[in-house]
Amino acid sequence: MKLLISGGAGFIGSAVIRHIIQHTADEVVNVDKLTYAGNLESLAEIDQSKRYSFEQVDICDAKELQRVFNQHQPDAVMHLAAESHVDRSIDGPAAFIETNIVGTYTLLEAARSYWLSLADAKKEVFRFHHISTDEVYGDLEGPEDLFTEQTPYAPSSPYSASKASSDHLVRAWHRTYGLPVLVTNCSNNYGPYHFPEKLIPLMILNALEGKPLPVYGEGTQVRDWLYVEDHARALYRVVTEGKIGATYNIGGHNEKQNIEVVRTLCGLLEELAPQKPQGVARYEDLITYVEDRPGHDLRYAIDAGKIASELGWVPRETFESGIRKTVEWYLGNAGWCKRVQDGSYQRERLGTTS
């Protein structure tokens, strides 16, 4: 197969591309605008492969998308391009509306036009796989409740509302136009190459620098943590074997309070990076509780039974094994982290040094 992957320079997208190039015989076309969260260094392991190509294209640019489809002739689309940081969506929702809603619409139309032009045999195998989030479901009430594929949507933030909108668009294009779509909704991802504004990499890097570890409220928010390489395997399984029109929830079966996650990271750093910054006796001493953000959902948890029973996917990593691998990766890749933190990863691709 040849897969067109939008947002392939992002955290999850780059993991999907690395998985496909390293573990399958398929080809990949990476379509990415390269916003602040897009980092081609995350693809350095595979970017010399003859089965990989890159197109710096905004998914809101209909003319360029048409060119990409016509030139590369993909067999499937995996749509990961999205603005995805909740705090940023609260501060400035416009970019989330533009990319997540208008961008998804534009990509759907480009894919539909291309799909309609295909010969019957290629038309039959074409797929549009939309990758979304469990945040579209809102907040869980009871401690035993789980999100299923039938859970009603109740998004709380501009980010999750924009992703919910994109999910509805994809399903409408299937129902109205017959476009062969698949939708997946995943829990919180973590692992290598995660942009440092997110909870786990932020805590690791702040701790190593002796900076405060800011925890919202009392840190009692519960998330289901999914190792990104497990997610990449799941997404490939869905796009290759999933049922047209179906939705699959993907979770890690690892519910943890945010404060538990932070304390686990501190404990691992005590073991793996015992030489602390000056003035720090214990990494846990850096934990600082800050005012909770508006509309902060208390608990997310995924029932991933459908993808397990229908497609045979289950996560390989426990939280304990995955979080250790993650900390070890950040400790071993200080150069990547530094270039992201100081912005040089962006300046280098623009050909500037200041």
How many domains is the chain partitioned into structurally? 1
| 211 domain residue, yes or no | no
Assess whether 61 carries a catalytic annotation.
Answer: no
Assess whether 134 carries a catalytic annotation.
Answer: yes
| 152 domain residue, yes or no | yes
| 259 domain residue, yes or no | no
Q: Which of 83, 135, 167, 255 is catalytic?
A: 135
State residue 353's pLDDT score: 37
pLDDT at 214 over 50: yes
pLDDT at 350 over 60: no
Prediction pTM value? 0.94
State residue 348's pLDDT score: 61
Q: Which of 105, 114, 137, 159 is catalytic?
A: 159
Q: Which of 27, 134, 224, 229 is catalytic?
A: 134
| 342 domain residue, yes or no | no
Assess whether 167 carries a catalytic annotation.
Answer: no
State residue 352's pLDDT score: 42
pLDDT at 349 over 90: no
CATH number of domain containing 88: 3.40.50.720
| 148 domain residue, yes or no | yes
Q: Print the domain residue range for 57.
A: 2-190+226-253+296-317
| 290 domain residue, yes or no | no
What's the pLDDT tens digit per position in 184-213?
999 999 999 998 878 999 999 999 999 999
| 283 domain residue, yes or no | no
Buried b or exposed e, range 110-140, using 16+ CB within 10 angstroms: bbbebbeeeeeeeeeebbbbbbbbbbbbbbb
| 99 domain residue, yes or no | yes
